[in-house]
Structure formats: structure tokens, C-alpha cells
Structure 1
Amino acid sequence: MAGVIEICAGAGGQALGLERAGFEHELAIELNPDAHATLQKNRPHWKLAKPGDAANPAIWKPAEYSPDVLGDQIDLFAGGVPCPPFSIAGKRLGSADERDLFAWAVEQTPVIVPRAVLLENVRGLSTPRFAGYRQFVLDRFQEFGYCAEWRLIHASDFGVPQVRPRFVLIAMLPNYFQHFHWPEPSPTEPPTVGKVLRKLMGGEGWKGAEEWAANANSIAPTIVGGSTKHGGADLGPTGAKRAWAKLGVDAHGVADRAPLPDDKFEVGPRLTNEMVARIQGWDDENYQWKFVGKKTSTYRQIGNAFPPPVAEALGRAIRSAILRETLPAVRSPETGHDPIYRILRDRRDFVLTSELVEQAGLELSQADVLVHLGRLQKDFEIEEIETAHGIAYRLGAFRAFVGQGEHPRHAHFSPPSAR
């Protein structure tokens, strides 16, 4: 196989899973210097671009990985592009967020022409707020000659002791996509936090480790890596902290070591980074990994990662489809994306509100249509004019960064000397 190119590779959670699924990394790109150093420490034989923005041509040139240049076709173009633009915990700016790279990544498909594409993000991207954005992505893949599908994946379905929903996009050339089957969840329940961490929690001889492990008898809430714009390392917002407290974990920070023999706690001990990594899917058997950086940096690398077991399950499903090891799948067309976007997309001219109500065919009221239009205006230019029959709307340009030289994103990611 010709291998994988991975952008926004982070500390290597997705990369490790894909490697175990049988893919070889032709190139990995990561912005954060510590995460880059982590990749280099664990896989010195991988080709890594220098640390930098994946959309910067000075870091790498996607056209250099096309079949015409390589003489072969890249099997997989993958990435865990930045989550803050879509996170429910954030402002959900979508295409207006300077960190949004999802649309740009999609646009590299006809440049690299991979057999398959894997992009993952937070659950927030699956919500109604981004219905138009999702449909636009599907439309672009169709224009490129690819089939694409979204799916919400839960890490706990693949043996990871954590809730952690991730929204995954798979796209493939049609002759491979017909053989693609989403990976089936594990038939066994995921291990509890107590079972996974019992040995580590007692690593310094803490006398309460066994009792603690027995009470930590469910899976963890989602590990939150957070943003470099905010504070130090802790295990998430208020709701997550309450869930951690029920497991006997103080979620207000990360510990430097496991509890000592006679340590007492009001709520429970804090987790170390090694413990957090176990909950994220790394272990000493199948997913060994070492992290580079200080405590907060290491925590963020771990917390923002794609769990390796989930990446491996998806990677195996993709590889099987590329090798056509599976029978063709029977699937229904994707539904549930924004009906108002589709009407405006197909009409191309101005459409009255009353026409949008009539053509949506989903018993939408005029107020519902205005809600849809309000969402779309956050990611698309929406023109409107006053007519004798009321206000009419027309779909304009997509606001997201797709490589435009004059886009505001450049002011954020360019080095100070170039601004």
C-alpha cells in the first residue's frame, strides 16, 4: 500500500491506530512543537514536516503527493482538524473561526487524489447548527467524484473507558466505497476507570487503591484537552468535574505522581498524565507511547488526541475496503442535513420565504425557515432582497477558509515578520 498522509497529527493517537491497521505514514504534519517532538520520539523513521500550519505551503505542498508526482496513489488522507470551531463548549464560530481547517482539508482531495479520506472532529459538528456546512462538504466530495458519509462514533464502543463521541467523515472513490463498512462496536463492555487505573493508582503504595478502584466502576466522561487560549490542565467543565467526583477523582488539575501510601482525599486523588493516557486508549501492550513536554503541554496532547483503538478500528475498515476484502455494502443516501440549504443550492436564484416553506416539505413554518437561514448565514453569504411578495433569499459564497490568499486566517497563523 502507498500509505497515509496525516495533517493535524497531534501527539499521534490517530497515527498510531492507523499504523496498527496497516498504514504507513508517508508524511505527518503538526503545528505544536511539543506534539511534533512526541511524534519524532516515538516514530523517528516517519517523515515529518517541520512544525507549522498544515495549510501553509512553506510547510508542505499537497500537489507533491499527487499520483502524477509520486507515480503511485496515496491510500489515505487523514486528519483530526481543529475542534474549537465546532465545539459545544466554545463559541461555535464554524467557518468564522481562524482555526477551522475542515473545509481546506476537503479541498485537498482533488489535489492529492487519495483512495480514501478520514477526517474526524467533535460531536458539535453533527448538530443542526452545522447542517449546511456538512451538506456543503458532501456536495464537494460528490463534485470531486468521491462518495462520502458522516457517522457519530463513540470511543466506548471500541474498548476505550471513556464516553468520547467523535464525528467522523469517510470519503472514498466509488469503487472502494462500495466495499466500506463502518466498524462494528465491540461485543463486550468497555473496562471501568477503576479496572484500567487500579495498578497505576497503587503504584506508590497507596493503601486506598483497591477500594478506590472498586468504586470507580463506570467509564469516564470525555477527556477535555482544552485550548492554549485557556488556563492549565484540568479534566473539563463543571458537569464533567461532577461526573469525575462520582468516580472518586478530583478533576481540578493533574497530579505529578500517584498517591503515597497514607494519602487522604476529600473527593479523591487527581489523575496523572499517564493515567489520563490510559483512559484515552494508550497502554503498555498494544499502544505504547511516550510524550514530550511539560505537564500541561503533555496533558493537552493526550486530551486532544483521537483514541488509538478507535483509529485502528476505522483504519482496518478503510483498508479492507481499499483491498476489497469485504462484500459491497447496502446503504441509504444520507439524510438529515439542511433542507433550506439544498433548496437555495439547487435554485441558484432568489427564493421567497413562502417558496422555501412550501418546497422544504417537512412541515416547516416560516419561523423555522428563518432559524435555518440564521444558521446558514454564519457559514455562507446569504443575499436578500425585498420583492412585492416578500423577502427573497439567494445562497452566496461559503465563508470558510479553503486556501484563499486574502483570508483573515493568514493574519493569525503567519509569523509576526510576515504580517
Structure 2
Amino acid sequence: MSGAAEDDSLEVVEICAGAGGQSLGLERAGFRHRLAVELDGHAARTLRHNLVKVLGYKEKEAEDAVRIGDVADPEVWNPDEHQNVDLLAGGVPCPPFSIAGKQLGASDERDLFAWAVELCGKIKPKALLLENVKGLSGNRFIAYRQHVLDRLQEYGYIAEWRLLQADQFGVSQLRPRFVLIALQHEYAEYFHWPEPHSNPPESVGELLRDLMAKGTWSKKKLDAWVMQANSIAPTIVGGSKKHGGADLGPTRAKAAWEAMGIDGKGVSDGPPGPKNPRATGAKHPMLTNEMVARIQGWHGEEFADWEFLGGKTAQYRQIGNAFPPPVAKALGIAIKCALRKEGDPHPLIETSKVTLDPVYKILRDRKRPITIEQLVVKLAANGTPLEQPEVERRLVHLGHDFELIKKQRSNGETTFLLGAFKAFLGQEDHQRHELFAQHRARIS
């Protein structure tokens, strides 16, 4: 399928596009890229290359479609030029929400999730698709998610979060991703989340058998390895520029890889054999980038021909940070059907009636400070009772993402008043600009 040749294609603007995992999936679903913006030069060049090689764009079209730089920099692109595009999509940075990090959320200079929601309100796409790590679905970010739903409701969208796993869509890897989809009212009633595949994906052993066979293992040893690698992969991580070269994950992930007969401490130049000295004599083989890409979903007739540019470590980061193309395609098809009003409509759930965090809801609507004891009483009266320790915990979480104004009364009681959202929303004077400039070389 050529992205440039489909006359009935819908158009997408993609932010934080990476090396094209989501891009390829959306193209296969019937979306053509009006624009894709990516910070990393290697990933952007990979995307441009494959728009031409795989998706049939002309050289000039691909050059114009992919912009390299900070997506929030007005010098890189002008959102006003893309009003009412069919779809705004992106995989904004994960570290602000990852359980492997500090979960700074709105206080992290890499956080662009809230900015992307404001961008949606500005350019008014028919649909919005944002994906991130599972950590965003946790209790730490209940108020953050509530704020996102509230803002999208104000902008005229029906929005819903869902935790999806890549193995539900034919990818030989667990890879949970927390996905937000929002559509304008006239399309929202036609949106249905994609159904998981009925059959499980191939095991890592079966998936990689032919690639491992390119080495010098005997058939007996290859068969034994395939039997050992008889499960799907743990979540592949792209790694951070702060932490050196390619690495298949933290300690628990490395143990899972070892149980499958794979050394997770790095990435190899080739399959086991004398032409790959690093693997000679090792207990288990390392994966190659080609193998990692296959596990990530670049496999099969629609997805296998993608080429990654740059050195080995740069390629690995592009692959490991990607959204699996088959999952992106499944979501893209569901969104396309909604935008074309295909299928049976269903009753809408108004986001204004969805309450994720009743503490945030009370504070958001108050102009006067309130004590914890008063919060407990009000929550009970509203039909959402919470014990005081839980209210205190939620206030701590709120303080990470919002200005939480605390004052001491003369009787010793502490009162709370909700202030501004700390996240970067595009403000010219936000601390994000200075911190981003300082740390840009280390931002993946």
C-alpha cells in the first residue's frame, strides 16, 4: 500500500513519531501522513527513508512530511496550518510516568502529554490518539488523568483510556501500553475498541527460528533453543541516552530473557557463530536488532520491510522505543471506521460524568480552602467515601502535578486549595524550556 497513492486516505499529524512504529501501523490502516515531528535525528531519517522505500512517498513528499526537532518549538512546525486534520496521534515521552523512573509527571520537563491535549484543543482534529506506558494508568496519576478527561470534554471530545497489550494483537511480546482515544461527538458513538486476536502470538523461539538458524548451531541445538524460548518476550525497552548502549531491560526482564535462553545484557551483531566473536562461548546468544524488531512487531507481509538507519545502538533505541505497528494498525482501523461512521453506533459515556479522583473533583470546583476532615465529610456526602489516610495520599499525589496551596489556621488545622496545573501547556515562561535545553542531549 502506498501512503501517497490512496485517494480515500484520511490524514494524520503525528507528534513524537520516533522511527515509525505508529506511523507504519496508521499508514496500513489507511491514514496518510500530512506531517510527522520527531526530536531524534536518527529516528526521523529512518522514518523519511521508509516513507519512500516502503510506503511509496516521493522524496520531496517525505522530506516535507517529516520535521526534525522539538515538537513544542514553533520554529519546527506551525500547528495552525493543520486545523481540523482527521487524526492527531503520538507516543509522547514515557519517562515522566514510568515506574522505572521517578514518576515526576507534570513536573518532568519531558512531559508532553498535557501539552498534546492542549494542542488537540487548538487544532481540533476529528480524533486524538495518544499512547504511553502502563505507569500512567496507576493511582499516582489519577488526578492527572482526570484533568485530561476534563480538558478534552471542555474541547468537545468524548475520551476514554484503555490498557492494551501487544500480544493481544499478534505481537510476540507483552508490552502493555496505556492508550487514550478521543473523538468529536459526531464520531464518538461509532468508535469501538479493536477486539483482541483469538489466537495467541508465536513464541519467541518460533518467531526467531529462521534468524537464529543463520548462525552455526546444529539443528539439534537450534531445536532445543526454540523449545526453551517457548513464551512471548517481556517488554522491550528502548533505553535512555543517559545509560549507555543497548540493553534489553532491568534485572527482572533479564531473568525472563535468560529463562528463554537469551542474554539480555546487550545486542549482538549477528546470530551465534564464529563470525560473531562476542557470542562465542557465551552461555546464551544475544538478540540482533533484526530479531528485536521482529519481536516488536516489524514482521509479516505488511510490516517486515522497514529499515533502521544509524549505528547499532541508535537502531536499537529506535526499535525499543517504538509502538508496535500491528497495535497501531488495529487502533487506526477502529478510528477510521468511526470517522467514516461505519458500523453500529452506541450510547456515549459523557466524560463529564466520569469521576476518577473525587478529591481532585472537590478541590477543582472550590474557591475556598478546605481541611482534610472537611474533605472526608464532603466525600461521604457525595457518595464517594474515602478514609483519611487515602485522602492524604491523594493530596500528596496532587501536589506533584498541581500547585497545592497549604495554609495553617490559628487552631492548628491545615487547609488545602488547588492551584495551577504544573504541566507544560505551551507557556513561554515555563521551566520546561530551560530544563529541556539543559538536558536535550540526554533526552530520548
TM (norm. structure 2) is 0.89
| Alpha-carbon contact 1:179-1:321 (below 8 Å) kept | yes
2:91 to 72, 80, 83: 80
User: Where does residue 300 of structure 1 map in the other structure?
Assistant: 317
5 Å-filtered alignment, 1:269-308, equals 269-287=285-303, 288-308=305-325
Which segment is superposed worse, 38-47 or 144-153?
A: 38-47
User: Where does residue 180 of structure 1 map in the other structure?
Assistant: 191
| Alpha-carbon contact 2:47-2:66 (below 8 Å) kept | no
- The alignment covers a number of residue pairs equal to 410
Distance (whole Å) between structure 2 residues aligned to residue 415 and residue 375 of structure 1 = 27
User: Where does residue 18 of structure 2 map in the other structure?
Assistant: 10
Which segment is superposed worse, 330-339 or 193-202?
A: 330-339
| Alpha-carbon contact 2:82-2:123 (below 8 Å) kept | yes
SS in 1 for 2:17: coil
1:28 to 36, 48, 63: 36
User: Where does residue 232 of structure 2 map in the other structure?
Assistant: 219
Alpha-carbon deviation of 1:48?
3.0
Matched, 1:350 2:369: yes
Deviations 1:101-133 (A, max 9, x none): 111111011221110000000000000111111
User: Where does residue 57 of structure 1 map in the other structure?
Assistant: 74
| Alpha-carbon contact 1:206-1:261 (below 8 Å) kept | no
Deviations 1:47-80 (A, max 9, x none): 33431000000000101111xxxxxx31100000
Partner amino acid for 1:370?
A: E
Partner amino acid for 1:30?
A: E
| Alpha-carbon contact 1:5-1:76 (below 8 Å) kept | yes
2:430 to 400, 407, 418: 407
User: Where does residue 329 of structure 1 map in the other structure?
Assistant: 346
SS in 2 for 1:108: helix
CA 2–217 in structure 1, closer or farther in 2 if over 3 Å, else same: closer
Give the % identical residues. Answer: 55
Deviations 1:23-58 (A, max 9, x none): 000000000000011011101333334310000000
Distance (whole Å) between structure 2 residues aligned to residue 265 and residue 215 of structure 1 = 19
| Alpha-carbon contact 1:53-1:413 (below 8 Å) kept | no
User: Where does residue 168 of structure 2 map in the other structure?
Assistant: 157
User: Where does residue 407 of structure 2 map in the other structure?
Assistant: 385
Alpha-carbon deviation of 1:339?
1.6
Alpha-carbon deviation of 1:349?
2.4
CA 218–255 in structure 1, closer or farther in 2 if over 3 Å, else same: same
Alpha-carbon deviation of 1:414?
4.2
SS in 2 for 1:190: coil
Distance (whole Å) between structure 2 residues aligned to residue 284 and residue 260 of structure 1 = 26
2:245 to 232, 238, 244: 232
User: Where does residue 93 of structure 1 map in the other structure?
Assistant: 104
| Aligned-residue CA RMSD (Å) | 1.8
User: Where does residue 249 of structure 1 map in the other structure?
Assistant: 262
5 Å-filtered alignment, 1:135-150, equals 135-150=146-161
Partner amino acid for 2:314?
A: S
Partner amino acid for 1:412?
A: L
Alpha-carbon deviation of 1:2?
4.3
Deviations 1:213-247 (A, max 9, x none): 12110000000111111121010000000000111
Matched, 1:19 2:27: yes
Distance (whole Å) between structure 2 residues aligned to residue 233 and residue 400 of structure 1 = 31
**Unmatched segments (≥5 aa) in structure 1:** 67-72
Alpha-carbon deviation of 1:407?
1.1
Deviations 1:375-404 (A, max 9, x none): 000000011223367322111100000001
Alpha-carbon deviation of 1:348?
3.2
Distance (whole Å) between structure 2 residues aligned to residue 320 and residue 7 of structure 1 = 22
User: Where does residue 197 of structure 1 map in the other structure?
Assistant: 208
Deviations 1:307-357 (A, max 9, x none): 000000000000000101121134656656222111111223212211211
Distance (whole Å) between structure 1 residues aligned to residue 165 and residue 346 of structure 2 = 21
Partner amino acid for 2:335?
A: I
CA 38–159 in structure 1, closer or farther in 2 if over 3 Å, else same: same
Alpha-carbon deviation of 1:13?
0.1
SS in 1 for 2:330: helix
User: Where does residue 394 of structure 1 map in the other structure?
Assistant: 417
Which segment is superposed worse, 371-380 or 385-394?
A: 385-394
Q: Which runs of 4+ in 1 moved over 4 A?
A: 261-266, 330-336
Which segment is superposed worse, 195-204 or 234-243?
A: 195-204
| Alpha-carbon contact 1:233-1:254 (below 8 Å) kept | yes
User: Where does residue 209 of structure 1 map in the other structure?
Assistant: 222
Matched, 1:259 2:269: no
TM (norm. structure 1) is 0.94
Which segment is superposed worse, 51-60 or 380-389?
A: 380-389
Alpha-carbon deviation of 1:260?
1.8
CA 332–2 in structure 1, closer or farther in 2 if over 3 Å, else same: closer
Partner amino acid for 2:156?
A: G
Matched, 1:123 2:134: yes
SS in 1 for 2:224: helix
Distance (whole Å) between structure 1 residues aligned to residue 14 and residue 261 of structure 2 = 37
Distance (whole Å) between structure 2 residues aligned to residue 333 and residue 161 of structure 1 = 36
Alpha-carbon deviation of 1:292?
0.3
Deviations 1:143-177 (A, max 9, x none): 10111110001001001000100000001101101
Partner amino acid for 2:98?
A: S
Distance (whole Å) between structure 2 residues aligned to residue 210 and residue 40 of structure 1 = 39
Partner amino acid for 1:343?
A: I
Distance (whole Å) between structure 1 residues aligned to residue 95 and residue 11 of structure 2 = 29
Distance (whole Å) between structure 1 residues aligned to residue 10 and residue 421 of structure 2 = 33
